[in-house]
Amino acid sequence: MTLKVFYWNCCAGLLGKFDTVRDYITSTDLDVFFIAEAEIRFEFDLGCLSIDGNDLICSNTLQSRKKSRLICFKKIQVGVVEIENELDEIICLNMGDIIVTGIYKGFKCFENETITSNFKRMCDTLRKIDYTKRVYILGDFNIDMMKTSSPLKEDLLEWCDLYGMRMSEIGVTRARWVAGNLQESCLDYILSNDDRFKLEKEMNVQSDHYVLKLSCFGYSKVIR
């Protein structure tokens, strides 16, 4: 069996792009679709975001910060890994022998936080994953791997080595025109400890971030 997971930084809110997300899910029979910069607030009626056969999961920041910037739609049989975490945009899912985790590391910080402290906290949360399983971590890390020198780039690569994770080589995952110049970067990618997958990307005009499309092969079962 093949497990199909998409990740998309939809840019500046999901509500106006929900039809696009629903079309992706229903037309491709996705198992999981992570949405970053969803901007789901605590007071929203989440019933308007229902998709048949899917659960909507919001990051724990919906309670602690009253807003989730990362959400996911998942098939009902896919389980959620309860990782103690209130301040990071991280959602971890259990599919038997596979763990798929979506992350979003924003570039803006709350009071008394820094880019470095946010990165260290994210890494501390991710270390709680069971790395004896097949692990895939997808996300917008806001660390540009196309730059020779980028804040926290070496720290992320060192963390990958520590946990036996490899970074995908996918090239540009964000492109936008600024003052007549095309700016390209690689902010969205996948970390994995297994090579039984295919990763593709697709540009969507509703965002300057590409949609990441992950297909995991040898997928055997799901558990709640």
Whether the per-residue pLDDT at 51 is higher than 80: the answer is: yes
Mean pLDDT computed over 157-185: 95
pLDDT confidence of residue 57: 96
pLDDT confidence of residue 224: 45
Mean pLDDT computed over 149-169: 94
- Going by pLDDT thresholds of 50, 70 and 90, the confidence category of residue 10 is very high
What is the SS3 string spanning 79-138? EECCCCCCCCEEEEEEECCEEEEEEECCCCCCCCCCHHHHHHHHHHHHCCCCCCCEEEEE
Q: What would the pLDDT profile of 73-106 be if each residue is shown by its tens digit?
A: 999 889 999 888 899 999 999 988 999 999 999 9
Are 162 and 148 spatial neighbours (Cβ–Cβ below 8 Å)?
no
Mean pLDDT computed over 154-181: 95
Q: What is the pTM of this model?
A: 0.95
Whether the per-residue pLDDT at 215 is higher than 70: the answer is: yes
Are 70 and 38 spatial neighbours (Cβ–Cβ below 8 Å)?
yes
- Tell me what the pLDDT averaged over the chain comes to: 93
Q: What would the pLDDT profile of 193-214 be if each residue is shown by its tens digit?
A: 999 999 999 999 999 999 999 9
Whether the per-residue pLDDT at 177 is higher than 80: the answer is: yes
Whether the per-residue pLDDT at 107 is higher than 90: the answer is: no
**Count of alpha carbons within 13 Å of 212, Cβ hemisphere only?**
33
Q: What would the pLDDT profile of 24-45 be if each residue is shown by its tens digit?
A: 999 998 999 999 999 999 999 9
Whether the per-residue pLDDT at 145 is higher than 70: the answer is: yes
CA–CA separation, 13 and 69 (whole Å): 8
pLDDT confidence of residue 222: 54
pLDDT confidence of residue 150: 83
Amino acid identity, residue 210? Answer: Y
Domain 2-217 has CATH 3.60.10.10: yes
Whether the per-residue pLDDT at 181 is higher than 70: the answer is: yes
